[in-house]
Each structure stands twice: as C-alpha cells, then as structure tokens.
C-alpha cells in the first residue's frame, strides 16, 4: 500500500473523533489494505453536481469532514466574489442528511455567510426556488438523489437557482484543494449562530409560495374534479410526501392512496434498495395495492422529489412508462391544450438534452416551437430559462425535460421538479380519461403521426480505482478509434463533445459543437438510429443511450435488441 494512503488513514484515526461512527469504521478496517485504499486512494471529487459518494470514513467518502471542507471551499468562493453573501440549505431523508445540512450551515455561518435553512426535509426544487426567493448567492441540497442508501452527497447551486456551471464548480474546487481537511475549516456554534441571525430557519410561507407557483402551471384547471381519478402514490421514503399530496389535493384528485411502507422518511429505503422511479422494483408495493383498488395511475417520486415516474394500466397489467414516453406525452399535452386555450406564447421554446428522444422535436415542430438542445444535466435547461429571462421573455419557455425522468413546466425554478410533474401527469391522465383514452393509446397516436421511437439505456459499473482507470481507457479508445458500424448499421455521424467537433463520415466535413466541452461521444447511425455514450457525472459507471427508429413497433423493437447487444459488446471490450 502506498505510504501516502497509510499516512492519511493514520491521520484520520487521530483526528476524526467528532463522529463515533467514523472511529468505529476506521478501527474495523485496520490492517485491511484494500478497504483502507478504497477510502483514501483519492479525494471525493467536487464536480458540477457537487459532491456524491458512499457514506463513511475517509477522503473518498461522504462524512462531516468532507462536507465541511467542501463547504469551506464554497464559502471562500462566495467571499471572494461577493462583499456580502447568503446561501439556502436543504436536505432529504437520506442517512446523515440532516447532520450534513447542519454542518454545512455551521461552516457558512462561521465564514460570515447568512444561512437560510429549512427546518425539515424538503425537495430539491423547493431549494432551487428558495435560492432565488431569498435572493441568495448559493444553495446546497444535501441528497444523493436516486442512488442506493449507502450514498449521500450535496448539489451546489448558484444565484440563478441552477446547479453550478462547470466554470463556477471549477473555481470552488480550486478553493477546496487549498484547504486542510481538519485544521482549515471555520465553524460556528449552531445555536449561537441561530440566536444571532446568521442561521435563519425558512418560514412555511416560502413553501406555500412554491406550491402556488406549481398550481399556476395547470393547463386544464378543474379537470381532476370533473373526472374522477384514482391514484396510488409513493414518495419512496423521501421528501415528496407532503408537497405532492398537497398539490394533488388542491387540483382535486379524488382518490389518492399512499403506499404505507414507503410513506415516512427513511434513508435505508427498506422496500426499494434503488429508490429510482425508472426501476419497476420501486412500484412493487404499489402494484400489490393496485390488485384491489385498480387505480388509473401509479405515481412515484425519488427521495429528493426532482424525478417522477408512472405506471399505467395496459393490456391487463401495469406498464412502467419511460422518461422519454412521459416527457413526450406531457409535451404534446401542454402544447395542444395551450394552443387550444390561446395561451401558447409567441415563439415558444422547448428544451431537451442531447440524449432525449427526437420524438419531442417532431412534436414541438408541429406547434411551431423552437427546440433548444443542451448537454445532459438539468442545469443546462435551467440556463436556457435564465437566458430567456435576460431577454425579457421568460414566458417563451414552455417545457423542458430529460430522459432520466426530469421535467419542468414554468420558469419559477431552475431545476427539474417532481411536484409539478406529478400534478401535470395527473391532470393529463384525467383529461384523456374524460375523452375515453389511456396514456398508452395517446402515445400510439403520436407514433402513428411522427414515427415509432424506442429508447433504452445500458449502465456498466466501474467500481474503485481500477474501475475508474478502465472507464477512462474505454472512453479514450472509442474517441481515438470510433467504430465504423454498430449493430450492422453504418456510423454516418460522429460527435465528440469533449473536443467540440462533429464529423459527417460520408463527406468528411466537420462542424463545431456550440456547447460546453463534455466527455460524451455520439454515433449517428443510418436510418435515424443513435448511440450515445458518456461516464455518469454522479456515479462510477458509464451510461449508453440507444435510440431505434422504425416505421412500426416491431421494427423498432428488433433494432433495439440489436443495438443493446452491440452496446454490451462495446462496453465489455
């Protein structure tokens, strides 16, 4: 084992004494080189998504010391940039989330930065709203989103309510690197800082303002009162329980059952080890309830309530709908209803990420919408809202979504919002129910009009130091020697978003990509199919996004199977 790693381990044994859980863990791994190395071979990276990692002892773990150090770096950045600064802080139901939020508040207050802290767990979109409502210069949301329970982290926000840009996150990282983990952090006594007004609890009125903004995004008000809708909802032991239930009550959802095993906050997620609404397993408890109540909709939000997923009746069972399917349905619903009501703005704008379904672009085109395509990450969608606001035309923004179950209608926040998504999907389901239609039936109508699209995602994990190195080698190999065909289809277009270049392989012509550099490779295949690969920004894995386009469902499904096989072969070398 490297001497540097052993020295770090010994330093933590001597100094990490404030959290007894850490001392127990450090004692338990004594003499176990692989365990020690995994905790100390690198520092937990502060990226554009902030921090995220396994909870535990060491520099490569989430704990009070890595949280304090990162927050000290943020504080130094804010003090350098602003003469006076404030920050909003929130947290979800994860293990140690409340503790980490409190420690972050202590560090900010210890550096003369006013802290607006939620007194109870609150969804990510409410934190985004609070940053702008309280006129803060930054925000911290303690969460690991939909990761397994062993993870925690925090998302860092700028004054615009968006997650930090690459540039600002880089500046914070530079500050963090200059801070000694144990001796370089300033903290305030929490109770004293609260008494002095340096830490202020956010009043319930802010949450009420947020809910009013969400409610204002309805496009068919009253439809849920007119058309009975039976919904089973699960907050997956997270933050959505109160706000989602309240917004559905306000719009008139007549029958709402909540999954009891997943109702209360619980960071161990006992019934769903992967609390991700993309995964069918999280609906198992709801599906058992559905056997007797036969609801129109199963609805789930992830622990920090920025993602939303649904399952709907289809051919005698409940079908889990993908993020692309729900996003395209919501987009079509919003545009068609707003056009009918005369509330669609002039020159409307729809924003999608580069890995999100091209069906959305065809729907938007039908209604005369400008489509703006951005990198993966909802902050880039939020950034487009900010640009429209600077032009004095924020109302042009109609909808933005990403395939990973993130949606936003309205410009009141700058992040995906599971609360407004839950409201709109119930409103949409009620509207189509009033017409005698199901959501799968409406989706088939869209396919008949615009063509059939099938999308799938392959995840490959790369754990530990060796895994990170293997992931980097794979991306370098594909970048330097891109395949000429995938699944028997010619690659007709190759885009390297890190080098900001796109090449037409038929003509050899290259064009610049006008987006921030990002470690993403895109392969456009003949016939409209697509293959995009990128390392996750929050987890040690590579994500591969597959798109199959066909004249009918059978052709698209057959091509999806071929692309999946080819994708697995590429990822496994």
Where do the DSSP E strands lie in 285-325? 297-301, 308-314, 317-320
Task: Name the residue among 155, 157, 138 with its Cα closest to residue 146.
Answer: 155
End-to-end Cα spacing for the chain: 29
Q: 461: Cβ–Cβ under 8 A, 6 or more apart, which residues?
A: 467, 539, 540, 541
Tokens representing 320 are 């889990």
Task: Name the residue among 208, 299, 288, 305 with its Cα closest to residue 253.
Answer: 299
Backbone angles phi and psi of 524, in degrees to 5: -85, 125
Measured in whole angstroms, the distance separating CA 254 from the mean position of its chain's CA atoms is 30
Rounded to an integer, what distance in angstroms lies between the CA atom of residue 295 and that of residue 306? Answer: 23
Cβ atoms < 10 Å from Cβ of 537: 16
Q: Is 536 exposed, middle or buried (0-12, 13-18, 19+ CB in 10 A)?
A: middle
Residue that is written with structure tokens 């520092």 in the block: 43
Measured in whole angstroms, the distance separating CA 237 from the mean position of its chain's CA atoms is 17
Residue that is written with structure tokens 């600077």 in the block: 390
Q: Give ∠ CA 90-234-403 in degrees, rounded to 5.
A: 75
Measured in whole angstroms, the distance separating CA 545 from the mean position of its chain's CA atoms is 16
Cβ atoms < 10 Å from Cβ of 216: 12
Tokens representing 35 are 């365990």
Task: Name the residue among 377, 334, 373 with its Cα closest to residue 357.
Answer: 373
Axis crossing angle, helix 418-434 with helix 241-251, rounded to the nearest 10: 30
Rounded to an integer, what distance in angstroms lies between the CA atom of residue 425 and that of residue 65? Answer: 41
Tokens representing 90 are 């929130």
Task: Name the residue among 458, 480, 462, 478 with its Cα closest to residue 470.
Answer: 462
What CA–CA distances, in Å, run from 342 to 219, 337, 447?
11, 8, 26
Tokens representing 12 are 């933590």
Rounded to an integer, what distance in angstroms lies between the CA atom of residue 43 and that of residue 461? Answer: 20
Rounded to an integer, what distance in angstroms lies between the CA atom of residue 379 and that of residue 255? Answer: 35
- Answer for the pair 538, 147: CB distance below 8 angstroms, yes or no: yes
Residue that is written with structure tokens 């057959």 in the block: 558
Q: Please list the active-site residues.
A: 145
Cβ atoms < 10 Å from Cβ of 491: 18
Rounded to an integer, what distance in angstroms lies between the CA atom of residue 293 and that of residue 195? Answer: 50
């Amino acid at each position: 084992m490297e001497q540097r790693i052993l020295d770090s381990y010994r330093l933590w044994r001597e100094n990490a004494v404030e959290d007894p859980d850490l001392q127990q863990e450090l004692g338990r791994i004594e003499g176990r080189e692989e365990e020690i190395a995994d905790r100390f071979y690198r520092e937990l990276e502060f990226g554009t998504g902030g921090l995220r990692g396994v909870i535990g002892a060491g520099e490569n773990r989430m704990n009070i010391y890595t949280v304090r150090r990162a927050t000290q770096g943020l504080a130094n950045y804010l003090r350098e940039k602003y003469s006076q600064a404030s920050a909003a802080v929130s947290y979800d139901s994860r293990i140690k989330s409340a503790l980490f939020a409190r420690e972050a508040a202590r560090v900010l207050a210890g550096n003369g930065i006013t802290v607006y802290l939620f007194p109870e767990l609150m969804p990510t979109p409410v934190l985004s709203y609070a940053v702008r409502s309280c006129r803060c210069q930054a925000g911290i949301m303690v969460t690991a989103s939909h990761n397994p329970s062993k993870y925690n982290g925090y998302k860092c926000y700028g004054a615009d309510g968006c997650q930090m840009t690459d540039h600002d996150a880089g500046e914070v990282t530079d500050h963090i690197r200059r801070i000694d983990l144990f001796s370089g952090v300033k903290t305030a006594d929490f109770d004293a800082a609260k008494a002095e007004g340096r830490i202020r609890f956010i009043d319930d009125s802010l949450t009420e303002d947020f809910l009013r903004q969400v409610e204002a995004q309805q496009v068919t008000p009253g439809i849920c009162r007119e058309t009975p809708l039976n919904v089973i909802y699960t907050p997956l032991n997270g933050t959505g329980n109160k706000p989602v239930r309240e917004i559905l009550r306000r719009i008139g959802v007549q029958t709402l059952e909540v999954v009891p095993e997943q109702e209360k906050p619980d960071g161990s997620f006992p019934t769903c080890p992967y609390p991700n609404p993309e995964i069918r397993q999280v609906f198992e408890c709801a599906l058992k309830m559905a056997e007797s109540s036969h609801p129109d909709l199963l609805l789930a939000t992830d622990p920090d309530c920025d993602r939303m997923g649904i399952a709907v009746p289809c051919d005698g069972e409940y079908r889990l709908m993908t993020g692309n399917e729900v996003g395209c349905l919501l987009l079509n619903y919003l545009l068609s209803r707003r056009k009918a009501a005369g509330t669609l703005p002039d020159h409307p704008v729809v924003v999608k990420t580069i890995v999100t379904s091209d069906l959305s672009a065809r729907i938007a085109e039908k209604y005369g919408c400008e489509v703006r395509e951005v990198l993966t990450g909802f902050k880039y969608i939020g950034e487009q809202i900010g640009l429209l606001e600077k032009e004095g035309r924020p109302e042009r923004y109609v909808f933005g979504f990403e395939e990973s179950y993130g949606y936003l209608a309205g410009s009141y926040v700058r992040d995906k919002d599971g609360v407004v998504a839950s409201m709109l999907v119930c409103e949409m389901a009620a509207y189509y129910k009033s017409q005698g239609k199901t959501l799968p039936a409406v989706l088939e109508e869209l396919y008949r009009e615009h063509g059939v699209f099938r999308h799938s995602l392959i995840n490959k994990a790369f754990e530990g130091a060796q895994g990170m190195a293997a992931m980097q080698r794979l991306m370098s190999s594909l970048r330097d020697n891109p395949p000429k065909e995938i699944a028997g289809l010619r690659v007709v277009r190759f885009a390297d978003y890190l080098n900001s270049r796109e090449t037409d392989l038929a003509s050899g012509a290259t064009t610049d990509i006008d987006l921030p550099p990002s470690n993403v490779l895109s392969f456009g295949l003949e016939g409209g199919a697509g293959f995009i690969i990128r390392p996750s920004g929050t987890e040690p894995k590579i994500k591969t996004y597959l798109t199959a386009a066909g004249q009918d469902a059978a052709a698209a499904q057959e091509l999806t199977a071929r692309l999946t096989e080819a994708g697995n072969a590429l990822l496994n070398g």
